[in-house]
Amino acid sequence: MSRSQPYQPLLLRILHGFNALLIILAILTSFWVYNTYDGRLIRLPLPNIPDMIGIHGTFGLWVLIIFPFFAVYSFHRGEKRLIQADSVNKLSQVGKPIWWYSLYRIINTIMLLAATWALITGRNMKEEWLPDGKLDMMWYNLHVSAWIILVICLIVHILMGLKVGGVPLIVSMFNWKYRPSDSPKLWGQNIKTFLNKTRGTRE
For ligand HEM, which stretch binds (CB under 6 A), given 40-48, 51-59, 87-95, 178-186? 51-59
Interatomic CA distance for residues 54 and 65, integer angstroms: 17
Residue 133's region, left for phi above 0, alpha for psi from -120 to 50, else beta, is left
Nearer to ligand HEM, 10 or 57 (CB): 57
Distances (CA, A) of 96 to 90, 93, 101, 181: 9, 6, 9, 34
Least distance from ligand HEM to the Cβ atom of residue 147, Å: 4
Interatomic CA distance for residues 134 and 139, integer angstroms: 11
Neighbouring C-beta atoms of residue 134, cutoff 10 Å: 12
Interatomic CA distance for residues 74 and 82, integer angstroms: 7
Mask: binding to ligand HEM, 163-182, rule CB under 6 A, as x and -? ------xx--x---------
Using CB under 6 A as the binding rule, whether residue 13 contacts ligand HEM is answered as no
First to last CA, the chain: 43
Which of the residues 95 through 154 are near ligand HEM (CB under 6 A)? 108, 111-112, 115, 118-119, 122-123, 125, 127, 130, 143-144, 146-147, 150, 154
Q: How many helices (H) and strands (E) does the chain have?
A: 6, 0
Nearer to ligand HEM, 74 or 102 (CB): 74
Nearer to ligand HEM, 44 or 202 (CB): 44
Which value, to the nearest 10 degrees, does the dihedral of the CA atoms of residues 101, 102, 107, 108 take?
Answer: 70
Q: How many residues bind ligand HEM (CB under 6 A)?
A: 46
Using CB under 6 A as the binding rule, whether residue 53 contacts ligand HEM is answered as yes
Residues binding ligand HEM (CB under 6 A)? 8, 12, 16, 19-20, 23, 26-27, 30-31, 33-34, 53, 56-57, 60-61, 63-64, 74, 78, 81-82, 108, 111-112, 115, 118-119, 122-123, 125, 127, 130, 143-144, 146-147, 150, 154, 157-158, 161, 169-170, 173
